[in-house]
Structure 1
């Protein structure tokens, strides 16, 4: 499995270095910011320009918050060719960091749960979304690695500042990591880490405004307009039926339906995560993060490559005593998204260039079927865990670290100041996924 994951990541890396790839890497906006200019204005003033990714330039659509470009400034300060190589290498390192972090959350050193958690993470690295993250120069692996690093680092009181810094970095891909950050509010005293991260973002925003001589309200207005134009001009549509896409079907001329669906879906998952966390006596970090990861990949706007975050859910259902009728449908649809969608692409997609192409009818029907099945599985999981009264026995510690448990002894929760709880539960589009082979 390690060899397969290495081959998969290697393929993504070599594709990232192609002249027309790393197309989602936000190098151009970061380089504009480095020069002291507004990174959104260039695009807003020429919204219908041709999007170009070549050996010498990349003009990715600037649809990320301003503070994200501050974090990318070191890459924007060097020329495009070197920047994309450095970013591809960093993405590879982050992919490994995500896999290790998931294994750490799954169980203590030497435990069966840690080994299985690592296998689930390696399966994620073998998936098409993981390769596409590397090949496209995307940011979810980078953000997820920073977030999981923050969660693990912050377990030690004296490292809360490092956790806060990593949380701030992770919010670069806020559509995935901000929902996950709600988990910090479930842990006593850990609210200060996201609070400090928010303060850091406010400081970076003020610094960027001063650096470019642009008023804060102008930046907020330009970001909203740039994000709107990026979706309109690019023609990108979600291939996973995210809440914003479903909202447009309900109210095509308004974003209120999508916003309402996003808030409602996230709210239901947060309520469920909090309930399960109380029942496990705050003993299972992986479960909380996995339950939040499910809506995090469907609320807002997403493409299938963001489903790397479901590696948390895959490790959870593989290592915890979750009711089979709840976890099996979710695991099956994760596999369909990780591998099945790429099979459909090979059969029914005719590429035009590195980004665009034409889908045959069977491929469109197949992708929509996968999206529908995934939503049904997620809704069933939330409903089943909400209404279920079963109390599975936990198999891993709160911290995911510690001594190996004697398998002849009853399962128990191991962690500081946590009492044994033997009955506690632990429970795309026109822009195709053909970003990478």
Structure 2
């Protein structure tokens, strides 16, 4: 329809209006984009500022650390791990510390090292070993941790004499402490951390025998919505790794759950999963526990030194939880939140466990086995790790 003389046709009018609307929308979108970009830049600057403040607050002078450890004397050495030596030290205020002196071939630059220190410093929980600070001078890269008095769990658990010091109330306390620490890493911290190397030597015990998860050398950070990841470099400790990780390189929170289940069964039995031999009845600790469970004789796997101190219901429930955690299918394993609830509430009904992953040596394949044994013999450094503390061998004092 044509407009009157001197007027504007309806088509032209519509075109003008549409052009204006499109222009306004594009302007608004562009403005929002610029605002968002400016906000991200501001947030990044804020994070960098906060990170720098954290770095400054955690940094120690080398001369202070040398004085605290008597210049890294042999008398002060308390351990040796894959990434360097560990020394006991005492700060001028009287506080005892564990000083991890990283080897010079650790593979990290100064900025990477400081970034990882800031990262680990954000992990604060009573069941995690606490990072106190670091030192970065010249060729020296040093981590300073709280000193944990009673060494590691394996120091007690697998020693025929010392395991007697771990009665059932202490072992039950340790199990719940480990569960709290892992739950914090998986769900309650600012970061979502998959530990990937949970084992008895990485559970330290304080003066009251409270468990503290340590050694984040293989840890990986997940995004908020990330559930699993893959790797071509399967590195960990034989006997504690989930089958999907050992065979296919798949890892997730359920990989840590599997390792926790192995820990629980080792704590109850006083035996190592990787070194378990029990005639022809079972090849490993997991299959042994499973067969006794099916035969309705679960308490037969219990460490004999617990006789007289254990609660039948608590031990049986812990064995049940341990078997749920080591099920072959990761989807059937409970989350650590459910595990923690199971440990602390008898009103929660436990499902019947399915067959565990029988981790016999011939089930993981020759190539994978050699790769794992190579790692354990050399303790290779992991350049993508969250940090490089690794207290894997503690000397008796």
TM-score by length of 1: 0.25
Instruction: Flag the structure with higher strand content.
Output: 2
Instruction: Flag the structure with higher helix content.
Output: 1
TM-score by length of 2: 0.27
